[in-house]
Amino acid sequence: MIQCKTSKEISGMGHSMKRKEDVRFLHGKGHYIDDLKLPGMLYMDIARSPYAYAKIKNIDISEAMKVPGVVAVVTGKDLEKYNLHWMPTLMSDTQMVLPTDTVMYQAQEVAAVIATSRYAARDGREAVKVEYEVMKPVIDPFKAMHADAPVLRTDKPGKKDNHIWHWEVGDKAKTEKVFKDAEVVVKQDMYIPRIHVSSIETCGCVADYDKVNNHLTMYMTTQAPHAIRTVIALVAGHVGLSEEKIRVVSPDIGGGFGGKVPVYPGYVIAIAVSFLTGKPVKWIEDRSENLQADSFARDYHITAELAGTRAGKIQATRFKVLADHGYTDASANPSKFHTGLFSIATGSYDYDTAYMEADAVYTNKPPGGVAYRCSFRVTEAVHAIERITDRFAFEIGMDPARLRMKNFIKKEDFPWKSPTGWIYDSGDYHAGLKKAMEAIGYDALRKEQIEKRKKGELMGIGISTFTEIVGAGPSKDFDILGIKMFDSAEIRVHPTGKAIARFGTKSQGQGHETTYAQIIAEELGIPAANIQIEEGDTDTAPYGLGTYASRSTPTAGAAAAVAARKLRDKARKIAAYLLEVSEDDLVWETGKFYVKGAPEKSKTIQEIVFAAYTNHPQGMQAGFEATHYYDPPNLTFPSGAYICVVDIDKETGAIHVRRFVAIDDCGHIINPMIVQGQVHGGLTQGIAPAMYEELIYDEDGNILNGTLMDYLVPTAVESPKWETGHVVTPSPHHPIGAKGVGESPTVGSPPAIVNAIVDALSPYGIKHMDIPVTPFKVWKALKEKGVV
Amino acid sequence: MNKVITVTVNGVQQVLEVEPRTLLVHMIREILNLTGTHIGCDTSSCGACTILLDGKSVKSCTILAVQANGKSITTIEGISTEGELNPIQEGFKENHGLHCGFCTPGMIMRITELLKDNPDPTEEEIRWGISGNLCRCTGYNNIVKAVLYASAKMRGVPTASTEPEFV
Ligand code: FES
Ligand code: FES
């Protein structure tokens, strides 16, 4: 059980407080972007390319302009006049807002139609006639790397190939030596497919430019409103928009998962049109546009290798990655990290030698590479290490749980330096796996498996014991476009002892309105119910880098605790004044200060706050407010031990996930109910790529499953009944010992599922399956082995 | 040519003029300004737009407004009075059945019919019963729990613990 220091009335850390934000959603009174209607608002729709690679010979807008209600059609040539036809990506590459001559992927924006109604805009879009000269696209990233591949980015002067960047880390020579001398080497190619965040709300905005005051209010689905404001100021500064005249408002967001971090062309076009017309412009993308053009994730081709001893000791790992970025590098990574935090791929195991390298390449596919519920490529990293570890166990005939137990970094060895340079803050991997094995009944399952195998039945047990790296990040290394990745909290306590707190982050369903209030309640003893939380409005919230990569609790959550502690220091001074004792004679007990040895002499936090406005000591500033910008000293390293049991039908290849136990360690828990909810949701987003989801392109660059009819987001039927639990090793450097949890389950679960499936098929010599593992793939593999 | 239709929306009769091609969901959201009904897709796949049409749960993005002529519509705004939660809404709140809340109104409308047809469903029946509604956030465990809670409450039997089953 989780120990709580506060009462239920106060609901500080550890209480499963029911969420404060729920009521408005349950009544249908959330404020999502498409709910916003402004007087005189225009609607925008976007004509898109049917081809993956083509020259634009002509765009004929005359018919579109005749459609009743259509007021304008905007093309790349129009934006070019204002030098707004290109924009920078987060990775300092460039991306077309609208093309002037060439389209680079199917569904790319070609022209925007502005009209007085949603339907008129759509009619206008259908009437835009574009003449294309179709070219042969480059779709396969390996072919794109060939010396004779056509160069795609001809807009970049002097560019002679499709290579974007090379990255490497670790000790190459030492790794080679260990591999050369090793008793056992295993090697596996694996593909982590292109997938999509598919939040149920798509992306959209209302750009509202006020010509008289030269002021832009940008309502948009963004996870990082402040960063967006700065980006707009940087990109549109030359047309006279400066940062104090820009307000970005991120309303309620219907799921983000990283897909609402980037700046998509639609946002920029809407701003441009509002700027030119002086009218509010709404753009809401369709689901199909969202799937086909925005925010893909993953798409890593990995070769993983592991060297070890016959006795099962891991000695070194080596990873080689080819990253397909589509036509531009629009990944959402901290600037210095081309491959995000992929270098966490050495995993939870105690060895000191590793080498990793990666190359990125342009193809005729949509740009992206967002951190989909993932701290920047950690999902890819965890998949690689957890799969290759299982391959190793299989190779030497050792139980994968035993092999992991043997190799885990020991609890007492933290802080621990990884072969790629990370300092893991804390963990107890043995305890986590032990708990998961007990919860699922591991030994009994292995016995059952032996019996089943005798009868020719396919049953598999798969494990994933992963280490995450979240909470970007320490400002010495982490920035986005130069802005350091701190985050912020501002707390104002009103005279009657009720508070409002504002943050630089932005919830998209994580429950910040509840959890941040609980952190402050823990520190100040003011009931969480009396603490109002606000995020998402750059005019009122302190600057912050936003919510993604499980960074809110590690950064803004820490800022809340530190700001609250500043207030507690002030409270002590006021209490000393009111009680006429020295500050040192006061003892803090949740919600009040009392005099040492005389507990009846006390002042509650509410009395103290009231005094801060009505009777504060002379010389002290009145009021009760504090702000903190928190720059984390290190990242946090949540971990998990997941075990999955599958049964496979030999005749059809159908896979049934019988059980799935997830034991997570996210440090101190703020709200167990919310943590558990995050884990459930993340697990379903883990089974999705493991068994169902992949964006598939044919060789002409046509997307084959660009709608929710054929892109298989799991329903309640595909989603197993998740079993969850936890161990707690607090982060030693975080003010409340928390680590962040949102993405752990998405990151950690796919390899557990695949390992279980491969384990089931292993008696037939099957050693690997690429995700998504579908019944057809299983059936085919069994057929090849002559089993069906 | 626009059509005039008569619909009863959350108990109130309305006479509206709509284009024949107007989707019911757009009528609800844009003409009636009932924005609790959401749009999550363009292929009738997600269920975010689910409402009750003459008591049957339907995806309002898949029906033309003119097809609702003479019928009665219930949306999320019409299932309880503000400030109060009905047993299904309460089930969601008590069991953390929502994260971002975008799928929630559609889910609740679907579940309203589900529990009318089957007041005491099994977990399996609930999962199949809501399989036309996608939720990207919750992983469904707690939605199932919310339905079980509502079912118990509506039948007057004690509800199960709403504490998280964190081992
Ligand atoms: S919006 Fe109606 S089913 Fe998706
Ligand atoms: S709560 Fe976000 S989609 Fe269901």
**pLDDT tens across A139-176, in order?**
999 999 999 999 999 999 999 999 999 999 999 999 99
**Cα maximum dimension of chain A:** 88
For residue A124, which amino acid is it?
Answer: G
B49 lines ligand 1 (CB under 6 A): yes
Please give the model's pTM, rounded to 2 decimal places.
0.97
Is B144 in CB contact (< 8 Å) with chain A? yes
* B48 vs A16, A18, A200: nearest CB: A200
Question: For residue B49, which residues of chain A lie inside 8 Å, CB to CB?
Answer: none
* A716 vs B40, B130, B167: nearest CB: B130
Candidates B74, B79, B140: best to mutate against A (most CBs of A within 10 A) is B140
CB contact under 8 A, B140 and A719: yes
Is the separation of the CB atoms in A426 and A637 below 8 Å?
A: yes
B46 lines ligand 1 (CB under 6 A): yes
Instruction: Locate the chain A residue with the closest alpha carbon to B167.
Output: A725
Closest CA relative to residue A141, chosen from A380, A322, A338: A322
Which residues of A are tagged catalytic? Answer: 223, 373-374, 743
B160 lines ligand 2 (CB under 6 A): no
- The Cα A254–Cα B136 span in angstroms is 9
CB contact under 8 A, B92 and A26: yes
Residue of the CA atom closest to atom 3 of ligand 1 = B44
Q: Which helix (H) or strand (E) segment is A48 a member of? A: strand A42-48
CATH 3.90.1170.50 fits A39-135+203-284, yes or no: yes
Question: For residue B48, which residues of chain A lie inside 8 Å, CB to CB?
Answer: 200
A92 in the Ramachandran plot: left (φ > 0), alpha (ψ -120 to 50) or beta? left
Q: What pLDDT is attached to residue A1?
A: 67
Candidates B21, B33, B93, B96: best to mutate against A (most CBs of A within 10 A) is B96
Complex ipTM, two decimals?
A: 0.98
Closest CA relative to residue B25, chosen from A176, A284, A745, A613: A284
Q: In what order do the strands lie in the sheet with A70-75?
A: A70-75, A109-115, A42-48, A281-284, A204-210, A215-220, A246-249
Pairing status of strand A458-467 against strand A487-493 = unpaired
Which numbered atom of ligand 2 lies nearest the CA of B40? 3
Q: Where are the domains of chain A?
A: 22-28+486-630, 39-135+203-284, 296-407+427-472+634-784
**Could you give the residue ranges of the DSSP H alpha helices within A503-646?**
512-524, 558-579, 605-614
B161 lines ligand 1 (CB under 6 A): no
Instruction: Locate the chain A residue with the closest alpha carbon to B48.
Output: A200
Closest CA relative to residue B34, chosen from B55, B3, B57, B11: B11
CB contact under 8 A, B167 and A723: yes
Q: What pLDDT is attached to residue A32?
A: 98
Specify which residues A594 forms β-bridges with.
A587, A602
Question: What's the CA-to-centroid distance between A579 and ligand 2, angstroms?
Answer: 50
Question: What's the CA-to-centroid distance between A200 and ligand 1, angstroms?
Answer: 10
Q: Domains in chain B and their CATH numbers?
A: 3-78 (3.10.20.30), 87-154 (1.10.150.120)
Mutate to test the pocket of ligand 1, among B23, B35, B61, B136 (most ligand atoms within 8 A of CB): B61
Confidence at B164, pLDDT banded by 50, 70, 90: confident
CATH architecture for the domain at A296-407+427-472+634-784: 2-Layer Sandwich (3.30)
Closest CA relative to residue B105, chosen from A26, A1, A137: A26
Question: What's the CA-to-centroid distance between B93 and ligand 2, angstroms?
Answer: 13
- The Cα A763–Cα A552 span in angstroms is 45
Mutate to test the pocket of ligand 2, among B38, B138, B142 (most ligand atoms within 8 A of CB): B138
Contacts of residue B20, Cβ cutoff 8 Å, sequence gap at least 6: B1, B2, B3, B64, B66
Instruction: Look up the CATH number of domain A22-28+486-630.
Output: 3.30.365.10
* A717 vs B19, B48, B128: nearest CB: B128
CB contact under 8 A, A254 and B102: yes
pLDDT beneath 50: ranges in chain A? none
CB contact under 8 A, A677 and B138: yes
Q: What is the rounded end-to-end Cα distance, in angstroms, of chain A?
A: 48
Same fold flag, A22-28+486-630 and A296-407+427-472+634-784: yes
Closest CA relative to residue A188, chosen from A784, A771, A767: A767
Write phi, then psi, for B23 (nearest 5 degrees).
Answer: -75, 145
Instruction: Locate the chain A residue with the closest alpha carbon to B29.
Output: A35
Q: Using one digit for the tens of pLDDT, what is the confidence trace for A561-616?
A: 999 999 999 999 999 999 999 999 999 999 999 999 999 999 999 999 999 999 99
Is B2 in CB contact (< 8 Å) with chain A? no
* B166 vs A19, A672, A682: nearest CB: A672
Q: What pLDDT is attached to residue A368?
A: 86
Is A550 in CB contact (< 8 Å) with chain B? no
CB contact under 8 A, B43 and A682: no
Helix (H, G, I), strand (E, B) or coil at A124: helix
CB contact under 8 A, B142 and A677: yes
Is A118 in CB contact (< 8 Å) with chain B? yes
Closest CA relative to residue B71, chosen from B28, B100, B40, B109: B28
Q: How far is CA A266 from CA A87, A263, A501, in A?
A: 12, 8, 32
CB contact under 8 A, B99 and A198: no
CB contact under 8 A, A27 and B77: yes
Segment 51-70 of chain B within 8 Å of chain A by CB: none
Question: How close, in Å, is residue B129 to chain A by CA atoms?
Answer: 9
Write phi, then psi, for B2 (nearest 5 degrees).
Answer: -70, 155
Is A311 in CB contact (< 8 Å) with chain B? no
Q: What pLDDT is attached to residue B167?
A: 65
* A672 vs B101, B141, B164: nearest CB: B164
B102 lines ligand 2 (CB under 6 A): yes
B41 lines ligand 2 (CB under 6 A): no
Find the radius of gyration of the CA atoms of chain A. Answer: 27
Closest CA relative to residue A511, chosen from A696, A681, A296: A681
B96 lines ligand 2 (CB under 6 A): no
Q: Which helix (H) or strand (E) segment is A400 a member of? A: helix A400-407
B40 lines ligand 1 (CB under 6 A): yes
Pairing status of strand B56-59 against strand A639-648 = unpaired
Q: What pLDDT is attached to residue A758?
A: 98
* B139 vs A509, A674, A722: nearest CB: A722
- The Cα A144–Cα A280 span in angstroms is 42
Question: What's the CA-to-centroid distance between A562 and ligand 2, angstroms?
Answer: 32
**Could you give the residue ranges of the DSSP H alpha helices within A316-372?**
none
Helix (H, G, I), strand (E, B) or coil at A50: coil
Question: What's the CA-to-centroid distance between B98 and ligand 1, angstroms?
Answer: 18
Helix (H, G, I), strand (E, B) or coil at A449: helix
Is the separation of the CB atoms in A550 and A714 below 8 Å?
A: no
Instruction: Locate the chain A residue with the closest alpha carbon to B141.
Output: A721
Using the 8-state DSSP alphabet, how is residue A529 labeled? G
